[in-house]
Amino acid sequence: MNTLPSSERILSVTAHPDDLEMHHSALLSRADKAFAIIASDGEGTTLNYTQRPIDVARERRGESERSLALLGITGTYLALPDGQLHTTGYRDVLTQAVISSVLEHDITAIASLGESGYCGHSDHVASHTAATHAQDILAAEYNKEIALYALDHSDAAEIIVPVDRQRKLAAVAIHATQFQNGPNGAIDPTFWATRADTYDPLLERESYSLQHARVLAATLI
């Protein structure tokens, strides 16, 4: 199992406003400085379908901004269409945004949702694909090799990060459009019994595989 360098400047690349809190909050808490790119505003959610998509997007963006402020993370919002990140044009926009953020903030590592996108969600998979593509281009075009921490809950995971559950649940609970809250604003554990398709934030660790850039010929988006 690898130990995370204490001087890491980590960029989280996710698809929706609550993905970071559920999947990367423990890892980012170990960073010297943490940044995030949130590709969409999550307007395609099926958990708040009584509102217009534009209103859902506004509300979810606000939740994300408050949550990232609590966690001390600098966020960038791309407002790409929820559910469409797998299309080539939008995926390329996300890839370029990752490259720009890495160069602007001197990022030393990227965190992604992994090859399977944790649950196979096409937007999650697309955000990982964009992160790996950016990693390869940065190595080939800018001579900047950075590590990528890919979410991996299999036995092959190389990096295990203990979770501060109180801190994590406080951030997740801000996303009230998506999560049923119990007393005192805490996540209601019984809510997860009906959400088999969703990551359980009550897990006590985050697990990652360490991915390095592939050798590429010069490639431009």
pLDDT over threshold 60, residue 60: yes
Does 87 fall in a domain?
Answer: yes
Backbone CA torsion sign across 12, 198, 170, 151 = negative
Contact between 151 and 206 (Cβ < 8 Å): yes
**Helix axis angle, 165-173 relative to 53-71, nearest 10°?**
150
Residue 216 lies in a domain: no
Express each pLDDT in 125-168 by its tens digit.
999 999 999 999 999 999 999 999 999 988 888 899 998 888 88
pLDDT at 217: 42
Give the pLDDT score at 153.
80
Helix residue spans in 44-179 (DSSP H): 53-71, 88-105, 117-120, 122-142, 165-173
What pLDDT shows up at residue 53? 84
Q: Is residue 219 part of a domain?
A: no
What mean pLDDT is predicted for residues 65-76?
Answer: 97
Q: Is residue 84 part of a domain?
A: yes
Q: Name the residue with higher pLDDT: 135 or 190.
A: 135
Q: Are strands 9-14 and 33-40 parallel, antiparallel or unpaired?
A: parallel
- Which of 29-38, 60-69, 178-187 has the lowest average pLDDT? 178-187
Is 91 part of a structural domain of the chain? yes
| pLDDT number for residue 221 | 46
Smallest Cα–Cα separation from 128: which of 139, 118, 113, 138?
113
Considering the domain boundaries, does residue 182 fall inside one? yes
pLDDT category at 199 given cuts 50, 70, 90 is low
Place of tokens 């099926």: 46
Q: What residue type is 181 in one-letter code?
A: N
Do the strands 33-40 and 74-80 form a parallel or antiparallel pair, or are they unpaired?
Answer: parallel
Confidence label for 204 from pLDDT (cuts 50, 70 and 90): confident
DSSP 76: E
Determine, yes or no, domain membership for 56. yes
CA–CA distance, 68 with 114 (Å, rounded to integer): 21
Between CA 35 and CA 9 the distance in angstroms is 8
Confidence check: pLDDT of 175 > 80: yes
Burial of residue 196, with CB atoms counted within 10 A of its CB: 0-12 exposed, 13-18 middle, 19 or more buried: exposed
- For the chain, percent of residues with pLDDT exceeding 90: 56
Domain residue limits at 176: 9-211
pTM over 0.75? The answer is yes
CATH of the domain at 33: 3.40.50.10320
Token readout for 196 is: 């088999």
Give the per-residue pLDDT at 92.
Answer: 96
Confidence of residue 219 (pLDDT cuts 50, 70, 90): very low
DSSP assignment of 199-221: --TT-SEEEEEEE-PPP------
Q: Do 157 and 116 touch, CB atoms closer than 8 A?
A: no
Q: Is the pLDDT of residue 181 over 90?
A: no
Does pLDDT of 69 surpass 50? Answer: yes
Domain count for the chain = 1
In a domain, 132, yes or no: yes
Burial of residue 184 (number of CB atoms within 10 Å: 0-12, 13-18, 19+): exposed
Q: What is the mean pLDDT of residues 77-102?
A: 96
